[in-house]
Amino acid sequence: MTDIAPSASEVFSFTPARPPARAVVASIPHAGTGVPDALRRAFRNAAQARLPMTDWHLGRLYDFLPALGVGVLEARMSRYVADLNRDPESRPLYPGRFETGLVPVTDFAGEAIWATPPDAAELARRRREVFDPYHARLLAALEEARAAAGHVLLLDLHSVASAANRIAPALVEEIFLGDRDGATAPAAVPETFVRAYAGRGLTVARNRPYKGGYITAHYGTLPGVSALQIEMAERVYMDEDRPEDPDEERLERARALLREVFEECLERLAPRGRPLAPEARR
């Protein structure tokens, strides 16, 4: 494989909050579909080239967030190039459980991704050129919001296929909130989201089977930062058998519902132009 050397705009996009901003930053690390040609040719087969581990269409689904006063950082590169929600030093997030790494070499079914797995130099290059720039921008956004308001809430947004895989059994609930068993956010944060989702007919699980990945675990331990991972079963907003082809009617219904959820939660936890509510501060 050759040096991918992407520009910053190829790695991520950042959409600032519309003023007055809330003390909230959203991260969407797995919605990217960009794969440099040199890496695309290295996929083991056509099935992997379809990027089945993608969090499809989340940028569109959450495009209302800046208008609600939330800055949004969204990955452009696929997690197949570098997974922005994995520990860069390969420390396990779920000891004893199957996990994919900073550069995944198998998919969630355990199937090989690459014809030839990337070597150490390639891993280091992808970390330097994709992982590090995304996290530098995320840290800058958090520091800016924290400086203005004293404390910041990080929402790490994901979606997940409903079928069973090596990580988890088939998903029963529709929403999965993770705060590393209470280590990264005070109870009021997930509880507020549970009530808002449930009030609109969505079932919610907390810290099972997803407790939060590297982004939640790492930034949620920083002073002045609370962090919550929000996973959503893809069946809520799309046809999981046709992931690349959005179901516009279903997506728009889900988008409208999610906007209601976030408006309700943000008004309680992070009023516009004001510090986080005391119960939202870790």
Residue bearing tokens 């570098």: 82
Q: Report pLDDT digits (tens) over 223-237.
A: 999 999 999 999 999
Residue bearing tokens 């992070």: 270
pLDDT confidence band for 3 (50 / 70 / 90): low
Give CA–CA dist 21/154, Å, rounded.
14
Q: Report pLDDT digits (tens) over 38-59.
A: 899 999 999 999 999 999 999 9
What pLDDT score does 78 carry? Answer: 97
Give CA–CA dist 239/171, Å, rounded.
15
pLDDT confidence band for 7 (50 / 70 / 90): confident
Give CA–CA dist 15/32, Å, rounded.
15
Mean confidence (pLDDT) of the chain = 95
Fold of 8-280: Aminopeptidase (3.40.630)
Domain parsing of the chain, residue ranges: 8-280
The whole-number average pLDDT for the span 20-34 is 98
Q: Can you give the pTM of this predicted structure? A: 0.96
The whole-number average pLDDT for the span 151-168 is 96
pLDDT confidence band for 9 (50 / 70 / 90): confident
What pLDDT score does 226 carry? Answer: 98
